[in-house]
Structure formats: structure tokens, C-alpha cells
């Protein structure tokens, strides 16, 4: 299996622009998580899905952030408009089942907003 695939790996954009991050989870995994990592705050959970349905989005910073999972093999995290404080590494992770535990992480998308 190719693992969790994220794109782009790096994105540099200007404040106010729309940013779309993409994730393909491991086939057969029914849970998908979006995390944001910064030096100051570590890994923060933004939102997670179960069987393509958003379960908890309480970690989404504000209305500028939105996430979708139109099918079992694809999810997007969108930031519109982007701000410099959104600069971070965004990780997608997937998991099979409720009790198996291990999260499989993608390589991350490093976002820089100028």
C-alpha cells in the first residue's frame, strides 16, 4: 500500500489567497484526521471524519477553514482567505476501525503564507 498521500508537499502563497490541501487515505481506512503542527502549539486536531462524515470539527480555527470528504479515498482542507498565522505543517492521518489505535500519517503539507 502507498500509505497516506498528501499534496502539495510545499505551498507558498500570499495572504488572502485560497489554499487547498489534499489527502488520499489508506484504502479500507474508515477514519480520517486533519492535524496542524506548529512549534508553539504542537499537533492540533482540526477535524476528523468517520465513513466520510465529519464527526468533530471543533478544532477548526474559524470559518476560513473548511474540510470535505466526498468519498472514501479523498479529502480536502481549504483555507480561504489565508493569513500568515496559518503557516504550519498540515498532516492528514487515517486509521482502520475504532480500537486498532495506530494512526498512519501522510508526509504533510508545509504551508507558508506571506
Partner 1 sequence: EDKVVQSPLSLVVHEGDTVTLNCSYEVTNFRSLLWYKQEKKAPTFLFMLTSSGIEKKSGRLSSILDKKELFSILNITATQTGDSAIYLCAVGGNQFYFGTGTSLTVIP
Give me the residues that bind partner 1 (CB under 8 A), please: 33, 35, 41-45, 48, 50, 55-56, 91, 98-99, 101-108
Nearer to partner 1, 22 or 81 (CB): 22
Q: How far is the CB of 88 from partner 1 (least distance, A)?
A: 14
Per the rule left: phi > 0, alpha: psi between -120 and 50, beta: everything else, 81 is beta
What single string gives the DSSP state of each residue in 97-113?
SSSS-PPEE---EEEEE
Residue 42 or 70: which CB sits closer to partner 1? 42
Output the smallest distance, CB 46 to partner 1, in A.
11
Question: Least distance (Å) from partner 1 to the CB of residue 82?
Answer: 23
Contacts of 31 (CB under 8 A, 6+ apart): 48, 49, 50, 94, 95, 96, 97, 98
The residue among 57 and 81 lying less far from partner 1, judged by its C-beta, is: 57
Amino acid at each position: 500500500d502507498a500509505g497516506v498521500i498528501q499534496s502539495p508537499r510545499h505551498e507558498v502563497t500570499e495572504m488572502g489567497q485560497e489554499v487547498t490541501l489534499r489527502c488520499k487515505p489508506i484504502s479500507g481506512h474508515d477514519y480520517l484526521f486533519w492535524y496542524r503542527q506548529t512549534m508553539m502549539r504542537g499537533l492540533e486536531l482540526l477535524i476528523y471524519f468517520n465513513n466520510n462524515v465529519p464527526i468533530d470539527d471543533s478544532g477548526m480555527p474559524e470559518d476560513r477553514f473548511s474540510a470535505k470528504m466526498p468519498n472514501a479515498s479523498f479529502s480536502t482542507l481549504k483555507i480561504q482567505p489565508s493569513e500568515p498565522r496559518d503557516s504550519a505543517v498540515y498532516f492528514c492521518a487515517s486509521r482502520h476501525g475504532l480500537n486498532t489505535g495506530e494512526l498512519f500519517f501522510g508526509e504533510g503539507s508545509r504551508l507558508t503564507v506571506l
